[in-house]
Structure 1
Amino acid sequence: MRDETAEDENWGQQFDRLPATPDERVVEARPTRTEVVEWWVERFGIDPKMFDGYTFWEKGAGKIWAFNGEVVDPIEVQGLGMRILRTRQRHWKPSTNAVQRFCRDATKNVIELSPGEATAFVAGHDQQLDWWEGDWGYLTAAHELAGEREPLGVGLYLHGELRSTVPKGRQEELVKLD
């Protein structure tokens, strides 16, 4: 059992609410709610109001979850809402679920794929895409479906190559994506 006096340590078996600001930070490397929201706004250009009503939690070292509601803090449960982000590494990485949920109206770092490129992406294939002129790093890979841009998942773009990070269990071999 965890020592209840160890509030300034990260414990991987429970969810701890992110502090609102750096002044409220108790666990040294834990991001704040403000930093998480600002990262999404800066990286993908989404409206920060998208996160109104959500609380943010860390479980383990840098696994950030969003929960639309309130619960006691800390809480020992297996899951709480949706894992949205990995922090505590050089580059923060959004989750596939989070990009699909929050990046439909993203205005930055969205790579819009052709039908063939989108088909390869959701199948988990890496592709040489030298035409992209935006930022390198983690992007929202998207494709137009039924007249609207649909986020497919997270891609890592480096040196002209888009690497699919679609989890193996969610990869799909599609005949044709229109």
Structure 2
Amino acid sequence: MRDETAEDENWGQQFDRLPETPEDRVVEGRPSREEVVDWWVERFGLDPETFENYTFWEKGAGKIWAFPAEMVDPIQVEGLGMRILRTRQRHWKPSTNAVQRFCRGATKNVIELSPGEAKAFVAGHDQQLDRWEGDWGYLVAAHELAGELEPLGVGLYLHGELRSTVPKGRQEDLVKLD
């Protein structure tokens, strides 16, 4: 059983609310709400108001969840909202669900894929795409559907290659994507 007075430690079996700012941090290594929102704004050009009605929580080491309501802190449940980000590593990694949910309004680090490239991406295939001239790292892989650019998921772009990070259980063999 965890010592309930150990507020300065991360405990992987419960959700702990992120502090509002870095100055409010009690648990070493835990990002603040401000840092999480700033990361989405800086990396993908999202409007900070995108996350206005969400609370942010950490469960485990660096698994960040967004929840569209208030909740008691800490809370021991299996899931709370949507996992949106993995931190506590060199490069923060957004989740596929978060990119699909929040990145329709992304203005930076979005790579638009042709129908064939989009099919390969959602099927989990890595592909050589030398045309990208933006930042390396995690990108929003998107494709135009019904006249709108839709985020398909997270791609990792390195050395001219777009690596699909679509989870195996979500990879689809799409017959028609146009």
Question: How far 1:177 sits from its partner (Å)?
Answer: 1.1
Name the counterpart of 2:43: 43
- Cα deviation, residue 23, structure 1: 1.4
Structure 2 distance, partners of 1:116, 1:71, is 43
CA distance in 1, matches of 2:62, 2:104: 25
1:75-99 deviation digits (Å, cap 9, x = unpaired): 0000000000000000000000000
Q: Alignment identity in percent?
A: 87
Query: Shift of the alpha carbon at 1:156?
Result: 0.1
Deviation sequence 1:115-143 (CA, Å, 0-9, x none): 00000000000000001111100000000
Distance in 2, matches of 1:39 and 1:86, equals 12
- Equivalent residue letter for 2:82: M
The answer on 1:80 being equivalent to 2:90 is no
Contact kept? 1:17, 1:73, Cα under 8 Å: yes
In 2, are the aligned partners of 1:116 and 1:176 still within 8 Å (CA)?
A: no
Q: How does 1:161-172 map to 2 (within 5 A)?
A: 161-172=161-172
RMSD: 0.5
Q: Are 1:65 and 1:84, in contact at CA under 8 Å, matched by a contact in 2?
A: yes
| C-alpha displacement of 1:176 | 2.7
Match of residue 109 from structure 1:
109
Where does structure 1 differ by over 3 angstroms across 4 or more consecutive aligned residues? none
Partner SS state of residue 103, structure 1: helix
Residue of structure 2 in register with 1:15 after alignment? 15
Q: TM-score, normalised by structure 2?
A: 0.99
Name the count of aligned residue pairs: 178
Q: Which residues of 2 match residues 116-135 of structure 1 at below 5 A?
A: 116-135=116-135
- Equivalent in the alignment of 1:52: 52
The two structures have a TM-score, normalised by structure 1, of 0.99
Q: Distance in 1 between matches of 2:103 and 2:23?
A: 29
What does 1:20-35 correspond to in 2, within 5 Å?
20-35=20-35
Ranges in structure 2 where 5+ consecutive residues have no aligned partner: none
Structure 2: how far apart are the matches of 1:23 and 1:103? Answer: 28
- Which residue in the other structure is 1:160 paired with? 160
**Alpha-carbon distance between aligned partners in 1 of 2:21 and 2:106, rounded to the nearest angstrom:** 25
* Matched position secondary structure for 2:104: coil
